[in-house]
Chain A
């Protein structure tokens, strides 16, 4: 026993293993709620990261401009056609918006599940090991960002904020849908007008598709139907586009349907994002139980 503990290397190894497990478990459990020294490290690294990315972005922008120039004529023709339709759509939108405001006033609604504010951000880094699909953006708590906020790419929902520092934040992408932090309640509206609810719980990397399950309905769902957030999870606003139905099948137990969803976004090409701050207040469990208690 005496000889065993006189071995410095073995003691060093044991201490290292114990420290490693402690740091890992503490840090993993507090993910998103990081200590001060880590916040400082992230922000300082973020500043250098931005400096490093600036020339790359400039060169990339130059190539994009040349590519865009090649497509200008075709794009111009398409846009001209769309402009003809835009006036009509704008007038219709205006009328609907006014009608919506009046109805809200009559119902005395403060905020609905579809209302949110937008904060745009640039992606400055991406986790190179790819085990955790995380991107770092150049906005933080000073810009009003909070853990749990939804993040959109150019077309649809891509993930959620999992860590906020003063001037930078981390976004976990939906490609990690098995992680509870990014699971999203979603809905699909059938041709009959029936709304089907479910949860985006997985991502299939081979098919490059999201999997929506926990579907309670057995209604027929057509391929190509849009899948949007339902707003029922309490964090994500309602109506954010996630993707479209690619295939409907039974789950592995054969008990309920599951939907393969083709995401609107290419998760490999995320440069600019929009962070969504939901206006509707989220009722937490404690408040809910208080409201449920009968008055004495």
Chain B
């Protein structure tokens, strides 16, 4: 598959994930505020991690930096958290990935690790800036647990679909 086509596809998928994350919070808040705690949609994070398996590491790190910049600028209002968070997450995921075989279950577990890292990093920074006064225990019980659980299921689906999509595109050489 031509490299530029892959790049356009990755940009489209990430943009879609970025808007879905914001849209779910806006249009279906009742799905996210559960009795067990607050679910945070992490489709952008999952998509970044999944796409990182199909692209060059340097490209993905730069891509993560740009996506983080857009997320910070558009949703948060100040820069830094997701810019550096996504960049570091992709770096760590790729380093850890090199120790394992290329298996579906490994990809899913790495996706869950990525969400864990980004949630903890964001909480640490927001806590440091006194934007949240939530303690670590409450964060783990009321937010991280249920967020990881739901996003793990999402990771399985996204990893499977992206894998099928790239296999299909490779087989047809993008003759769509």
Contacts and interface: CB of A to CB of B under 8 A. Distances in A.
Interface stretch (B52-60, B75-83, B99-107): B75-83
Interface string A12-25: 00001000100110
A53 B131 CA distance: 28
B131 A131 contact: yes
Contact of A45 (B74, B76, B81): B74
A28 B29 contact: no
Interface string B65-91: 000011011111111110110011000
A268 B28 CA distance: 9
Nearest to B79: A27
Contact of A27 (B75, B78, B87): B78
Contact of B26 (A23, A135, A163): A135
Contacts, number: 109
A41 interface: yes
A203 to B, nearest CB: 11
A4 interface: no
Nearest to A267: B29
A126 B23 CA distance: 7
B74 A136 contact: yes
B74 A131 contact: no
A60 B77 contact: no
B36 interface: no
Contact of A130 (B38, B72, B125): B38
A23 B80 contact: yes
A86 interface: no
Interface in A120-141: 123, 125-132, 134-136
B163 interface: no
B41 interface: yes
B27 interface: yes
Contact of A31 (B41, B74, B77): B77
A111 to B, nearest CB: 31
B40 A128 contact: yes
Interface in A154-198: 162-163, 170, 176, 178-179
B149 interface: no
Interface string B1-45: 000000000000001000101111111011001000010110000
Contacts of B40: 128-130
What is the predominant secondary structure among interface residues of chain A facing chain B?
mixed
B140 interface: no
A109 interface: no
Contacts of B24: 128
A32 B77 CA distance: 8
A46 interface: yes
A131 B126 contact: yes
B78 A125 contact: no
Contact of A132 (B29, B76, B80): B76
A257 interface: no
B122 interface: yes
B22 to A, nearest CB: 4
B36 to A, nearest CB: 15
A135 B84 CA distance: 23
Interface in B142-161: none
A258 to B, nearest CB: 17
Given A126-B26, A130-B40, 8 more contacts: A23-B83, A28-B129, A45-B70, A53-B19, A129-B40, A130-B25, A131-B131, A132-B126
15 contacts: A28-B78, A31-B78, A38-B79, A41-B70, A46-B74, A49-B74, A126-B22, A127-B25, A127-B75, A129-B122, A130-B38, A132-B131, A136-B74, A178-B133, A269-B29
Interface of B: 15, 19, 21-27, 29-30, 33, 38, 40-41, 69-70, 72-81, 83-84, 87-88, 122-123, 125-126, 129, 131-133
